[in-house]
Amino acid sequence: MKKILLSAFATSAFFISSAFAVPEIISQQTEEPIKIEKNISDDAYIAGEEITVNTKIEGDAIIAGMNITLEKDVTEDALLAGHTIIVNGNINDDIRVAGHNVTINGNVGDDIISAGKNIIIRNSKIGGAVIATAKNVKLINVTANEGITITAETIFFDSTVSGLVSLTATNITFGKNAHITGSLTYSGNIKGIYSDTTLKNIVNGNITKKESELSQYPILEDKRFFIAGYLLSIILFSFLLNIFLPTYFSKSVSHILSAPFSRFIFGLIWFIGAPLLAFLLLLSVIGLPFGITLISVWGLSFLLLPYFCTSSLASLFLRIFKWEGFFATLVVTILAAIISITPLLLLLAPFILGGILKEKSEILKSYKK
């Protein structure tokens, strides 16, 4: 639990400390797949849309993209973020991974910390603990030495685990090979017929059932882990935005600095006026599709606001400090992400949205010309 408590700090420290190494940096702004075959003898920073790593990484692996396949081993930590992530190689230390679909098939020397929609961990030996939150989690033929903590809507557990196992879900299913050498704490419904005697055949320790606190979708019991994971996702994706779209956010910041009051009012109008206009459009048959589109875009802007805010602040910091380069962008993104998860986001939001909307209008004008 101590690692969970310190994960946000550790993540930031990990990024900052990386600035003093000499890593392999691979990034690509086109849609061409990235296939890495050559040896990497140091830390690797890889960003792209389609990424396949077919070589051993002698150091840390920090990879972000749409689809990521890691076929070979990583001798130290792995930090991965994307839509679909497949890890077939072994990770000698910790792995922290966030994605829509995450599959881990390799062995892990220390902890797994993962978040996403669908997480599958199978045929793996885990030297440390497994901490996962998702809609669906499956553990198949996994051996873990330091316990498991899972929060999900559905959990399929068919593994051998030593230590404390904490399962929080709407539905929990135990496979025929499930075995726990330690205590089980669970919340939710266990599918199938399980008496206390039957569960004791699976668990060599205390069994505690908690009252379920889950609604339709699961929530994290430990909010510190949620904050750490949320911060990590903001850092990774905002960093990618600044790497791939530096000019866009730089111009947005210029719009804010040139006319801060106008940008604030423009952003405030979007906040308040867009949903009101959408509601009026929804009242008429002709305006219905426009109303749905407007309210969808408005909602999406709120979901992406922490990322836009972080990217814009990072661009502003680069301008103020007169920094440039890969590592400078990384450091200021971390600082901006920390600010973006505080209540300051509500104050900054109108400025940020105003600047972004102004730049979008400028792009549209140039396109029409």
Q: What is the mean pLDDT of residues 332-351?
A: 83
Question: Is 288 or 183 the better-scoring residue by pLDDT?
Answer: 183
Residues paired with residue 179 on neighbouring β-strands, in sequence order: 160
User: Is the pLDDT confidence value at 220 over 80?
Assistant: no
Q: What's the one-letter identity of residue 183?
A: S
Question: Which of 39-48, 157-166, 182-191, 356-365 tops mean pLDDT?
Answer: 157-166
Q: Please provide the average confidence, as pLDDT, over all residues in the chain.
A: 80
For residue 297, pLDDT beyond 50: yes
Q: What is the pLDDT of residues 160-200, one digit of tens each?
A: 999 899 999 989 999 888 999 989 999 888 876 555 556 77
Rounded to an integer, what distance in angstroms lies between the CA atom of residue 327 and that of residue 332?
9
Residue 13: per-residue pLDDT: 34
**Does one domain contain both 170 and 28?**
yes
1 vs 41 pLDDT, higher one: 41
Q: Are residues 195 and 249 part of one domain?
A: no
Q: Provide φ and ψ at 298, rounded to 5°.
A: -60, -45
**281 & 358 share domain:** yes
- Claim to verify: residue 319 and residue 184 sit in the same structural domain: no
- Asked which of 163, 193, 209 is the last residue of a domain, the reply is 209
Q: Which domain holds residue 186?
A: 2-209
Average pLDDT over residues 345-353: 84
Given 184, 209, 234, which residue is the final one in a domain?
209
Give the SS3 label for residue 359: helix
The predicted-structure confidence for 241-253, as pLDDT tens digits, reads as follows: 888 888 888 898 9
Gap between the terminal Cα atoms of the chain: 58
| CA-closest candidate to residue 87, choices 110, 103, 98, 74 | 103
Q: Does residue 262 share a domain with residue 203?
A: no
C-alpha–C-alpha distance, residues 151 and 133, integer Å: 5
Q: Are 22 and 42 in contact (CB under 8 A)?
A: yes
Render pLDDT for 103-129 as a digit per residue (tens, 0 to 9): 999 999 999 988 888 999 999 999 999
Residue 192's pLDDT is what?
65
Q: Are 355 and 253 in contact (CB under 8 A)?
A: yes
Overall domain count for the chain: 2
16 pLDDT band (50/70/90 cuts)? Answer: very low
The verdict on residue 37 lying in a domain is: yes
The confidence band for 328, taking pLDDT boundaries of 50, 70 and 90, is confident
User: Do residue 68 and residue 194 come from a single domain?
Assistant: yes
Q: Residue 66 is which amino acid?
A: M
Portion of the chain with pLDDT greater than 90, in percent = 26
- 261 domain residue, yes or no: yes
CB of 141 within 8 A of CB of 151? no
- Of 209, 229, 262, which closes a domain? 209
pLDDT at 225: 59
Q: Do 190 and 251 sit in the same domain of this protein?
A: no
- Cα–Cα distance for residue pair 262/258, rounded to 1 Å: 9
DSSP 3-state percent helix, strand, coil across the chain (nearest 5): 40, 30, 25
* Burial class for 70, CB neighbours closer than 10 Å (0-12, 13-18, 19+): buried
Position 93 confidence tier, pLDDT thresholds 50, 70, 90: very high
Top-confidence residue, 130 or 197: 130
Q: Which of 6-15, 60-69, 128-137, 158-167 has the lowest mean pLDDT?
A: 6-15
Residue 68 located in a structural domain? yes
**Cβ(89)–Cβ(107) below 8 Å:** no
Give yes or no: residues 78 and 183 share one domain. yes
Q: Are residues 21 and 152 in the same domain?
A: yes
Examine the pLDDT at 5 and tell me if it is beyond 80.
Answer: no
> Which has the higher per-residue pLDDT, 6 or 168?
168
In the prediction, which pLDDT does 92 show?
Answer: 95
Partners of residue 148 on adjacent β-strands:
130, 165
147 and 66: one domain? Answer: yes
Contact 156, 175 (CB under 8 A): yes
**Does pLDDT of 61 surpass 70?**
yes
Distance CA 256, CA 95 (A): 39
The three-state secondary structure class of 5 is helix
Question: Mind listing the pLDDT tens digit for each residue in 299-319?
Answer: 888 788 888 889 999 998 888
356 assigned to some structural domain: yes
Q: How confident is residue 295, by pLDDT bands cut at 50, 70 and 90?
A: confident
SS3 119: strand
- Res 221: pLDDT: 46
pLDDT at 330: 84
DSSP letter for each residue of 134-182? SSEEEEEEEEESS-EEEE-SEEEEEEEEES-EEEEEEEEEE-TT-EEES
pLDDT for res 21? 40
* Sequence-distant contacts of 240-243: CB under 8 A, at least 24 apart: 240/47, 240/64, 241/307, 241/311, 242/311, 242/314, 242/315, 242/329, 242/333, 243/27, 243/47, 243/326, 243/329
